[in-house]
Amino acid sequence: MEIFINEESLHGQYKDLREFTAALKKFIGLFSYINEQKRKLNVYKLDTHIFLSKNAILNDAFQKSLEAINPQLKNAFTQIIFARLNPKDWKSNQVHDSEDIYHYKDLIAAQNTSIAEITERLLQDEDTPRVLINFTTSKFEDELYLAVFKNDIDEINLPIRVAMVNSKETFEKWVNNYSEKNITEQYNSINEIWESREEIFPNLIFCGDTQKQLEGFGINDKELRTIFEKLNVLDNYLTTNEQLNFDDLNFQISPESSSTMQKYGNLRQFNLPNGTLETFTLHIKLPNLRIYIFPNNKGKCFVGYIGKHLLTTKFN
Amino acid residing at 175: V
Q: Encode 93-123: b = buried (16+ Cβ within 10 Å), e = exposed.
A: eeebeeeeebbbeeeeebebbbbbbbbbbbe
Contact 124, 95 (CB under 8 A): yes
Q: Which residue has the higher pLDDT, 1 or 27?
A: 27
| pLDDT, position 41 | 78
| pLDDT, position 155 | 47
Band (pLDDT 50/70/90 cuts) for residue 38 is low
Distances (CA, A) of 202 to 35, 126, 195, 245, 246: 35, 26, 13, 19, 20
Q: Is 173 in the same domain as 187?
A: no
* Max CA distance (Å), the chain: 69
Q: How many CB atoms lie within 10 A of CB 254?
A: 13
Q: Average pLDDT, stretch 203-224?
A: 93
Q: Is residue 315 part of a domain?
A: no
Q: Is 42 in the same domain as 131?
A: yes
Euclidean distance between CA atoms 258 and 260, whole angstroms: 5
Q: Which residue has the higher pLDDT, 6 or 82?
A: 6
Q: Is 205 in the same domain as 271?
A: yes
Boundaries of domain holding 60 = 2-177
Domain end (from 149, 177, 205): 177
Q: Is residue 314 part of a domain?
A: no
Q: Is 17 in the same domain as 40?
A: yes
Euclidean distance between CA atoms 108 and 103, whole angstroms: 5
Q: Is 53 in the same domain as 200?
A: no
How does the average pLDDT of the chain come out, rounded?
87
Smallest CA-to-CA distance from 114 within 27, 11, 5, 31 is with 5
